[in-house]
Structure 1
Amino acid sequence: MSNPSPSDALLGAADIRELAGVLGVRPTKQRGQNFVIDANTVRRIVRTAEVRPADVVVEVGPGLGSLTLALLEAADRVTAVEIDDVLAGALPATVAARMPGRADRFALVHSDALRVTELPGPAPTALVANLPYNVAVPVLLHMLDTFPSIERTLVMVQAEVADRLAAGPGSKVYGVPSVKANWYAEVRRAGSIGRNVFWPAPNVDSGLVSLTRRAEPVKTTAAKAEVFAVVDAAFAQRRKTLRAALAGWAGSAAAAEAALVAAGVPPQARGEALTVEEFARIAEHGPRAGAGPASPSPEPAP
């Protein structure tokens, strides 16, 4: 059986609604589900992600398969991670029906993306996803941390979250997501997506964020968990100086000041002015300095 033409293979608005009706699916706010119903939009996402013929792409939250099919057109392999029972059960059949010639290049992992620690087949080289809005940042950070083979990432998230992820030091929206994403990658805004390409149409605009894994990790002797602990403490009370904000982390304001001075950071500075490298230097002089790597802990919500 030959492949359908690309125009037939991708899902349009009528296809999405028909498929959802057959499955008895209604998008839920609880899981942040908004299905893309425009084929041109998913093609644009794949182009912006610069998906290559040799790429092994992991997709989180594939839903009914709009982006999945567009990724299969461009990549060598696609692995989709879906938590919803009905959607996970239906997606392989959708792929087989609409792209039979590529079905053997597709794998489905029925799981919560925040709990995924391994994927079938070759290691992923790219992450491309329309992330559920309610868990977008934790899922993104978990995937980048768990799969270091992911070189390039393009995610669609709420516009406000996209701005926060791509913000640099000194920006009003620079915060925990900005610093933690920059630990792994160079981050930039890569475009905007209108509301009318979704079903149901969300009440907020969406944005694309591109992340390119750092060629070299942040140079530090501190464990990632300890650096992130400093970041969390620094932004917990944004109006406070770092001397005050880090007092709990360091054990006292005096200890926090000593760590800041040793790191070459002014104690009166605030977290929104610091780079990820500066947060790492502070962690090197903190209470755990010299104690060895910190024990892994669940990723805190940003």
Structure 2
Amino acid sequence: MDLCNSNDIKALLGRHGFRFSKSMGQNFLIQGWVPQDIADASGADETCGALEIGPGIGPLTVQLARRAGRVAAIELDRDLLPILAETLSPFDNVTVIPGDAMKLDLAALAAEQFPGLTPVACANLPYNITTPVITALIEAGCFASITVMIQREVAKRICAGPGTSDYGAFSLFCQYYTTPEYLFEVPPECFLPAPKVTSAVIRMVPRAEPAQTLVEDAFFFRVVRASFAQRRKALLNGLSAAFGDKLGKDQLRQAIADAGLPEGVRGERLGIQEFALLARALRALGA
């Protein structure tokens, strides 16, 4: 059975009486090069345990099983479980875990499933859960790499640099903890049913060293959120809304100046180091 052949897929789904769920964002791959290239990009080998979220009928799972020491695939749709039992039956190194990835402790699951192996994450993520799942994978803090296929617009946002239209607080969050790399695009015609948007594959590797050491992470991101809350306005406006109860506008202007920034700068133009200097200056003034 070819899990990327549309006729084989339709026959498989028909045998199990499966119907696509729009609410779960189900789009199955019909081009074999896609799961192969995603699995290759993950770098998974026999020393790795690969965590997959949303395996669907299993084309990427099969490719990971051929490379990794073990694979754990989390599937929310229970209607897919008997299908996965059939498609993954040739592989004894795969465990399918029924459940919602957003409600599981991913670090604990990886430790349980992959003893003695290096955990990596690799998935074709449903569009409707992309941001929270990526956030959870990063915050789990245990994956040597995170390789995902997601909506192209989100992939560009994650990899965007300061001052660009795609750059935002989520870009900075991902880049704070990892080094994202935009790998390749996957057109809509590679899926059944075809989505209305293009997908893209990115790989994120955790930073070996902290992105900054001037302030604690929680305060750093409080400053980031304040700076992007009114992204089309000057940085001073967002800081005033967030810290105005403790610091007056003159003090906030002083913090911006102490960070070496022009008074009229917008938060969307700042990178990690600029935000770190600004956060330190705000801390020094009592924020």
1:138 corresponds to which residue?
Answer: 132
> Which ranges of structure 2 fall in alignment gaps of 5 or more residues?
none
Question: How many pairs are equivalent?
Answer: 278
Is it true that 1:283 corresponds to 2:256 in the alignment?
no
Which of 221-230 and 122-131 deviates more? 221-230
What is the RMSD of the two structures over their aligned residues, measured on CA atoms?
A: 2.4
- The CA deviation at 1:267 is 3.4
2:256 corresponds to which residue?
Answer: 260
How far apart, in 2, do the equivalents of 1:287 and 1:228 lie? 13
In structure 1, which of residues 65, 72, 82 is the aligned counterpart of residue 65 of structure 2? 72
- When normalised by structure 1's length, the TM-score is 0.83
> Which ranges of structure 1 fall in alignment gaps of 5 or more residues?
1-7, 292-302
Change (3 A) 1:198 1:221: same
Change (3 A) 1:90 1:257: farther
How far apart, in 1, do the equivalents of 2:284 and 2:132 lie? 25
- Overall identity of the aligned pairs, in %: 35
How far apart, in 2, do the equivalents of 1:108 and 1:17 lie? 22
Are the counterparts in 2 of residues 250 and 287 from structure 1 also a CA contact under 8 Å?
no
- The CA deviation at 1:106 is 1.4
How far apart, in 2, do the equivalents of 1:288 and 1:106 lie? 52
In structure 2, which of residues 91, 114, 128 is the aligned counterpart of residue 122 of structure 1? 114
In structure 1, which of residues 77, 82, 85 is the aligned counterpart of residue 78 of structure 2? 85
Change (3 A) 1:265 1:195: same
Are the counterparts in 2 of residues 220 and 281 from structure 1 also a CA contact under 8 Å?
no
- Which structure 2 residues correspond to residues 1-302 of structure 1 after superposition, within 5 A? 10-88=3-81, 90-96=83-89, 99=90, 102-103=91-92, 105-117=93-105, 118-119=108-109, 120-122=112-114, 125-146=119-140, 148-251=141-244, 254=249, 255-286=251-282
Q: Secondary structure at the match of 1:59?
A: strand
Which of 279-288 and 168-177 deviates more? 279-288
Change (3 A) 1:266 1:24: farther
- When normalised by structure 2's length, the TM-score is 0.87
1:300 corresponds to which residue?
Answer: none
- The CA deviation at 1:256 is 3.6
Residue identity matched to 1:247: S
Are the counterparts in 1 of residues 223 and 279 from structure 2 also a CA contact under 8 Å?
yes
Residue identity matched to 2:136: H
Q: Secondary structure at the match of 1:125?
A: strand
Are the counterparts in 1 of residues 3 and 30 from structure 2 also a CA contact under 8 Å?
no
- The CA deviation at 1:164 is 0.8
Q: Secondary structure at the match of 2:63?
A: helix
Deviations 1:128-158 (A, max 9, x none): 1111111212211111111x22121211111
How far apart, in 1, do the equivalents of 2:272 and 2:82 lie? 41
Are the counterparts in 1 of residues 3 and 57 from structure 2 also a CA contact under 8 Å?
no
How far apart, in 1, do the equivalents of 2:2 and 2:194 lie? 23
Are the counterparts in 1 of residues 3 and 9 from structure 2 also a CA contact under 8 Å?
no
Q: Secondary structure at the match of 2:45?
A: coil
Residue identity matched to 2:130: A
Which of 31-40 and 226-235 deviates more? 226-235
Change (3 A) 1:65 1:273: same
- The CA deviation at 1:109 is 2.6
Deviations 1:239-292 (A, max 9, x none): 11111122222125625434433433333211221112322333344469989x
Q: Secondary structure at the match of 1:209?
A: strand
Change (3 A) 1:278 1:39: same
Residue identity matched to 1:58: L
How far apart, in 1, do the equivalents of 2:214 and 2:39 lie? 37
How far apart, in 1, do the equivalents of 2:33 and 2:197 lie? 20
Q: Secondary structure at the match of 2:66?
A: helix
1:3 corresponds to which residue?
Answer: none
